[in-house]
Structure 1
Amino acid sequence: MIAITGAAGFIGSNLAHRLSRLGHDLLLVDDPPTAAKAVNWAGLGRFQFIPLDQFLGDLPDLDRSVEAVFHLGACSSTTETDWSYLLRNNVEYTRRLWEWCAEVGLPFYYASSAATYGDGSQGFSDHTPPTELRPLNLYGKSKNDFDVWALAEVAKGAPEPAGWAGLKFFNVYGPRERHKGKMASVVWHARRQILETGEVRLFRSNDPTYPDGGQRRDFVFVEDCIDHMLWLWEHPDTTGVYNSGTGVARTFQDLVLAVFAALEREPRIQFIDMPAELGKQYQNYTQAEMSKLRDAGCSKPATTLEEGVRRTLSPENTVSETQNAL
């Protein structure tokens, strides 16, 4: 049985569906799902559910039934300002799971974030020690703090899980993310805007280096991130913190044009001013350096932006989203 925390969320639910198709029994861990999240489990095979706040207390009874832990549950809001909440949810909870997996000899794979790279002035290489990174927001700090702690534990020879990795997810998009609301990817926001108004609104650039719509991000299809996680699980001797992206930066205009094409609509883009507070922590450019994972042997090509958007917005992936909105 595979345990997945954050299992009703975006990446977690997509991982659950992949593992279910592969024939695995699942232990899904999350807050009791709302109707908006429950739809993400439609069509799953065998699974058990444990509430997130109960999971840690149940760990002593689970060591003989769990084969691996994929820890994707966290506060993912980049605008969260309550550090005590982030420390409790994103750092201390992850430590408890790491220590349990180390104690009982289980593999452990957890979500880090590209937000750890801050403004990108030091690049986006997963060879850079986390101690040298300066995230722009408290969410990124919480993810970086755990990376620092985990690597320090390994360096001092403390017990570690039987195979582990942290994955620095870049700008992930894909099915099963409508429940995220304002934190959903630009793919879903663009789809909604096109269906409602026929056009997409993008932020004007706040940096003369980039034209309006020319800000560039490493947009990565969720199934590629799952490929990375499962490859690492299959290769337990490959441990560490790894980027999970495509290695290619594309513009927001590229992404929006891909959405218009997937919906078979003529492109109409309106540029609007970026809120001042957002501009203070806005990343105008991200591009994952993927050589570390590829050199380790994970060589599956990344899904192109156009193909990923087409698959995300295909009828089989949008029908449940539409039904849930009614």
Structure 2
Amino acid sequence: MKVLVTGGAGFIGSNLALELQNKGYDVVVLDDFSSGHFKNLLGFEGDVVAESILDVDLSRFRDVDVIFHQAAITDTTVQDQKLMVQINTEGFRRFLDFAVENNIKFVYASSAATYGNAPAPQKEEDAGKPNNIYGFSKWICDCIAKKYIEKYPDAHIVGLRYFNVFGPREQYKGKMASMIWQLAKQMVDGKRPRIFKWGEQKRDQVYIKDVVGANLLAVDAKKSCIVNVGSGRAVSFNYIIEVLNKVLGFDYEPEYIDNPYKEFYQEHTEADLSKAEKYLDYKPKWGFEEAVEDYMEWLKENKYI
């Protein structure tokens, strides 16, 4: 089976591309390397196309069986609304149109940012009031997908609303890398881990290996759908530091700082996974503590910490 991974040099895309390769798929990666990094693809032996999702000639992908659309601007601090919607929404629409026209299965990355301040646990129907232009761009993708699902009942369209993803190959995301990476790096560098006052904000932290697993399950989804992909469990930032101290052998106290993003900050995210389980048979395999241990081991082996 031949598959295309857009954004395949990025964090999630590279993990997905490598796992697909391991499973024997013929994998093509598309990435303009604006935020992806070639080192994420070390060990990859498939084809790499260095083009923008807005400009690439789609006809060269007519022979693929599945498109995993991961490409997007993921920096939630970007304020250029036109750029964000052009890349994230118009780029998505272009590939969705192409997939439907050519009977190609389409699996795409949505986001928990579509929920804004909806109360936890967030259910799929709670989305639609995003706090920033990134969340808005992803919400419109979901709205377009819903219309296509209704209009083309024979198409295979699956949207995955990722919650806070962490794990190997995120280090090139810089400030947008997970808090697990940011805090671990601070601690290894001999600094007290810095978090917003008073560390009781909660996030659904989902391990990259579970996210990759959800993408693989989406290929055989029972029906077209848009579902949450998370751990189903929220953990506080204080608890993240507690776990990192235990795994890394430190005893740091957090340094609490003011939150400059308070007006649009999500205080508590937690995925309701009932639809993901129903339509994809998705159940996360990694508990938070075990995932952190596995991740820190990978970082040490690869000399990132």
TM exceeding 0.5: yes
Deviations 1:143-188 (A, max 9, x none): 0011111112333x2x477422111100110010110111000111
- Give the match for residue 37 of structure 1: 37
Residue 297 of structure 1, CA deviation: 5.2
Matching residue of 1:138: 133
The residue aligned with 1:52 is 51
Instruction: Please give the per-residue CA displacement for 1:9-40, whole angstroms capped at 9, x wherever unaligned.
Output: 11111111211111222101111478x82111
Deviation at 1:99, TM superposition (A): 0.6
**Contact 1:101-1:161 within 8 A present in 2 as well:** no
Whole-angstrom CA distance in 2 between matches of 1:82 and 1:179: 22
Provide the C-alpha distance between the structure 1 equivalents of 2:74 and 2:303, rounded to a whole number of angstroms. 21
Query: Aligned pair 1:232/2:218, yes or no?
Result: yes
1:220 — aligned with what? 206
Structure 1: distance between partners of 2:61 and 2:37: 25
Residue 82 (structure 1) shift: 0.9
- How far did residue 268 of structure 1 move? 2.3
Distance 1:149 1:310, change over 3 A: same
1:322 aligns with 2:304: yes
Alignment-mate amino acid for residue 11 of structure 1 = I
2:5 corresponds in structure 1 to: 4
The aligned counterpart of 1:95 is 93
Note closer, same or farther for the CA distance 1:297–1:100 as it changes in structure 2 (3 Å cut).
closer
- Please give the alpha-carbon distance, in whole angstroms, between the structure 2 residues aligned to 1:56 and 1:319: 38
Aligned-pair distance for 1:228?
1.1
Confirm whether residue 24 of structure 1 aligns to residue 25 of structure 2. yes
Given that 1:167 and 1:243 are in contact with CA atoms closer than 8 Å, whether structure 2 keeps it comes out as yes
| CA RMSD, 1 decimal | 2.0
1:149 aligned onto 2:144: yes
> 1:289 offset after TM fit, Å?
0.7
Aligned ranges 1:73-84 → 2 under 5 Å: 73-84=71-82
Residues 35-67 of structure 1 deviation map (CA, whole Å, 9 limit, x = unaligned): x821111122x2101123278543213212x12
In structure 2, do the counterparts of structure 1 residues 123 and 262 end up closer, same or farther at CA, with 3 Å as the change threshold? closer
Residues of 2 paired with 1:122 and 1:307: CA distance?
A: 24
User: Residues 270, 162 of structure 1: CA spacing in aligned structure 2 closer, same or farther, 3 A cutoff?
Assistant: same
Shift of the alpha carbon at 1:120? 1.8
Equivalent AA in structure 2 for residue 5 of structure 1: T
SS at match of 2:281: coil
Aligned residue pair count:
304
Deviation (angstroms), 1:264: 1.6
Aligned residue type for 2:304: T
Contact 1:175–1:318, Cα closer than 8 Å, also in 2:
no
The alpha-carbon distance between structure 1 residues 260 and 52, as it changes in their structure 2 partners (threshold 3 A), is farther
Runs of 4+ in 1 over 6 A off after TM superposition: none
Unaligned runs of 5+ in 2: none
Report the CA distance between 1:73 and its aligned residue: 0.5
* Amino acid corresponding to residue 15 of structure 1 in structure 2: L
Pick closer, same or farther for the CA change 1:141–1:268 going to 2, 3 Å: same
CA distance in 1, matches of 2:120, 2:248: 38
1:319 is displaced (CA, Å) by 4.1
TM-score normalised per structure 1: 0.87
Alignment of 1:191-230 (within 5 A): 191-204=184-197, 212-230=198-216
Q: Calculate percent identity across the aligned residue pairs.
A: 32
Distance in 1 separating the partners of 2:169 and 2:145: 30
What is the TM-score with the length of structure 2 in the denominator?
A: 0.93
- Match of 2:57, SS state, is helix
Q: 1:285 corresponds to which letter in structure 2?
A: H
3-state SS, counterpart of residue 13 of structure 1:
helix
Q: Partner amino acid for 2:102?
A: V
Give the AA of the match of 2:43.
G
User: 1:166 touches 1:240 (CA, 8 Å); kept in 2?
Assistant: yes
Provide the rounded CA distance (Å) in 2 between the counterparts of 1:320 and 1:40: 12
Q: Does 1:293 align with 2:276?
A: yes
Amino acid at match of 2:223: T
SS of 1:238's partner is coil
Long gaps (5+) in structure 1: 205-211
- The letter of the residue matching 2:115 is Y
